[in-house]
Chains A and B, each alone.
Chain A
């Protein structure tokens, strides 16, 4: 079965770029008919969808974050990545990657905490 695992720095300085990678196992991104998404959750708060990418490289972003977000895919490594620029403390959150079946997300990675602090 498909499993996802997030990785990347747990601490990012304000104004810098947050970079995370999601590694997919048990299934291939290449040629799949799914999207692959990033979602985040500040501590004690709700969930916010960040954006998605198709295996072809087509991307769609949350309008509220679009100016700062880039999602890319590396099918040779079976990975997709998130870059969020000009981060502030408001970007501190647990970041999840998930397989995006168009109208729902399943499965999810375990999540990784990213703290924005100097």
Chain B
């Protein structure tokens, strides 16, 4: 299963709303997670099972979608939110775990 993230780069200002998309080549049900990665750091889990916020993740991060189309929304960007974001799926058939290619969220 291929995950396609869009846009590749998103340029926004602090305080603005960010909407990141992840599309799967076939249904992954709700088995979709989102991660944030800053330079030199490991990815950090933000959202799991499409819409559940991970522990200690601020409420400005939210996830939605099911099947093949998913969205990560950051309601009001903080300076520390500028990073690369990856989606990830797990499927039983065909059995696979894959990541999207990432969306770079940069300061405008």
Q: List residues of chain A with CB under 8 Å of any chain B CB.
A: 37, 46-49, 52, 60, 62-63, 96, 101-111
8 A Cβ contacts from B1-55 to A: 31, 33, 35, 41-45, 48-49, 54
Once the chains are docked, how many angstroms separate the CA of A98 from the CA of B44? 11
| A63 B96 Cβ-Cβ under 8 A | yes
Query: Which listed residue (A49, A103, A106) contacts B31, Cβ 8 A?
Result: A103
Q: List residues of chain B with CB under 8 Å of any chain A CB.
A: 31, 33, 35, 41-45, 48-49, 54, 86, 88, 90, 95-102
Once the chains are docked, how many angstroms separate the CA of A63 from the CA of B31? 20
A21 to chain B minimum Cβ distance, whole angstroms, is 17
| A96 B42 Cβ-Cβ under 8 A | yes
| B97 A49 Cβ-Cβ under 8 A | yes
| A46 B48 Cβ-Cβ under 8 A | no
* Inter-chain CB contacts under 8 Å: number: 50
Residues on A with C-beta less than 8 A from B44 are: 108
Q: What's the dominant secondary structure at chain B's contact region?
A: strand
A3 to chain B minimum Cβ distance, whole angstroms, is 11
Given contacts A49-B99, A63-B96, contact A104 B42 (CB under 8 A): no
Query: Which listed residue (A37, A60, A101, A111) contacts B95, Cβ 8 A?
Result: A60
B17 to chain A minimum Cβ distance, whole angstroms, is 24
| B96 A105 Cβ-Cβ under 8 A | no
Once the chains are docked, how many angstroms separate the CA of A103 from the CA of B30? 9
Residues on A with C-beta less than 8 A from B95 are: 60
Given contacts A46-B99, A47-B86, A63-B96, contact A106 B45 (CB under 8 A): yes
Q: Can you pick out 16 interface pairs between chain A and chain B where the beta carbons lie within 8 Å of each other?
A: A46-B86, A46-B99, A46-B102, A47-B88, A52-B97, A62-B97, A63-B96, A101-B48, A102-B90, A104-B33, A105-B33, A105-B35, A105-B43, A106-B54, A108-B42, A108-B44
